[in-house]
């Protein structure tokens, strides 16, 4: 089976070509700010990114003869995890999605490219809107605002399955806490194959991150919204995009911040330690969801490369359970293997409706 996996991100489009379980191409197509500034909306980048995928395959000498094309899932309505075949209902919902993110382009590009081949199928897998919350986890103090989940479902689940495989265990039998430490931070409580509690890592819940504000004081946020100082779009950016480390310190680059700390910047140290503190606090809260019975805590994402962050985080949470670190993300491999499992009949293909 030959599979093309496509993962659109805010400043890149990552692609991989797999023959069965073997990667034959992994490529990161980077986009400059100047290139993307030509497009008023993210959805307008569709043709640009699609053509870059085709051009890259041609330049690398990869024949366009795939059994499946799988894209990163977008911000659809809440759905259970798994593999979904792209259909008209999904494409329509993405076209009218209330939240804008580059991941919304994944199913659009996959569907369009699949039409170029006679028997190629288009899939998504474990999109960021996967919702497997326990009912008790949905309730907030206001009936107008139930909790929703927007998180790194694809990578969290891939890392959980990787941990299980490495230890000859079954993911569906484990109780895990998985932390994705990237531009956004999601802390998921995985119980027997379901993420029964996880924060909305995009627009306002959980730890603050390099570019997102996390949970904010509600009263002060309401006052700010009614102050007249900012437009609605400006306020949205102060929650996601221009928040977190970049709002405090002017950069999302943890290496740069750590260097500043080493040079004596005490404010940078306080802010970075505050983020680590909030991550640890979220892990501790997740431990209560599992009644303290945790098989392992898994740390993943780009910031898991940072010894500064990981060492200090371990100091706070190591008493809870064994900790395993998986720096970076396995999203392209996860996409490809989900598509392969669907083609082989090993994973059920779910219908989006």
* Residues 270-300: tens digit of each pLDDT: 999 999 999 999 999 999 999 999 999 999 9
Task: Kindly list the strands in the beta sheet with 121-125, ordered across the sheet, starting from the edge strand earlier in the chain.
Answer: 22-30, 12-19, 2-8, 68-72, 121-125, 83-85, 349-351
Domains and CATH numbers, the chain: 2-132+331-351 (3.30.420.40), 153-327 (3.30.420.40)
* Residues 253-267: tens digit of each pLDDT: 999 999 999 999 999
69 pairs with which residues across the strands?
A: 4, 122
> From CA 18, how far away is CA 161, in angstroms rounded?
19
> From CA 330, how far away is CA 336, in angstroms rounded?
10
Is the pLDDT at 224 greater than 90, yes or no? yes
* Residues 108-141: tens digit of each pLDDT: 999 999 999 999 999 999 999 999 999 999 999 9
> From CA 111, how far away is CA 96, in angstroms rounded?
17
> From CA 97, how far away is CA 61, in angstroms rounded?
35
Contact 275, 209 (CB under 8 A): yes
* Residues 44-78: tens digit of each pLDDT: 999 999 999 999 999 999 999 999 999 999 999 99
84 pairs with which residues across the strands?
A: 124, 350
CB atoms within 10 A of CB 39: 14
Is the pLDDT at 11 greater than 90, yes or no? no
């Amino acid at each position: 089976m030959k599979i093309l996996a496509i993962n659109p991100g805010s400043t890149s489009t990552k692609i991989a070509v797999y023959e069965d379980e073997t990667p034959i191409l992994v490529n990161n197509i980077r986009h400059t700010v100047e290139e993307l500034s030509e497009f008023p909306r993210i959805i307008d980048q569709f043709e640009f990114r699609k053509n870059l995928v085709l051009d890259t395959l041609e330049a690398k000498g990869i024949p366009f003869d795939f059994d499946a094309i799988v894209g990163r899932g977008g911000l659809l309505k809440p759905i259970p995890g798994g593999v979904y075949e792209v259909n008209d209902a999904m494409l329509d919902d993405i076209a009218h999605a209330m939240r804008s993110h580059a991941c919304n382009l994944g199913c659009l590009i996959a569907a369009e490219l699949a039409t170029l081949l006679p028997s190629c199928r288009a899939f998504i897998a474990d999109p960021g809107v996967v919702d497997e919350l326990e009912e008790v986890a949905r309730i907030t103090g206001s009936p107008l605002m139930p909790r929703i989940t927007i998180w790194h479902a694809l990578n969290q689940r891939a890392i959980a399955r990787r941990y299980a495989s490495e230890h000859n265990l079954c993911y569906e039998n484990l109780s895990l806490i998985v932390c994705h430490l990237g531009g956004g931070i999601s802390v998921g409580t995985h119980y027997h194959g379901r993420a029964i509690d996880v924060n909305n890592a995009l627009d306002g819940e959980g730890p603050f991150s390099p570019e997102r504000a996390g949970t904010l004081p509600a009263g002060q946020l309401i006052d700010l919204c009614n102050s007249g100082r900012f437009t609605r779009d400006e306020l949205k950016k102060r929650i996601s995009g221009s928040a977190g480390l970049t709002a405090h310190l002017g950069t999302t680059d943890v290496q740069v911040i750590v260097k500043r700390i080493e040079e004596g910047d005490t404010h940078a140290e306080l802010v970075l330690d505050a983020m680590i503190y909030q991550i640890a606090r979220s892990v501790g809260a997740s431990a209560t969801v599992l009644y303290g019975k945790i098989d392992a805590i898994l740390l993943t994402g780009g910031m898991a490369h940072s010894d500064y962050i990981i060492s200090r985080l371990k100091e706070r949470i190591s008493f809870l359970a064994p900790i395993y670190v998986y720096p970076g993300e396995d999203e392209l491999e996860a996409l490809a293997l989900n598509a392969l499992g669907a083609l082989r009949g090993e994973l059920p293909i779910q219908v989006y409706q």
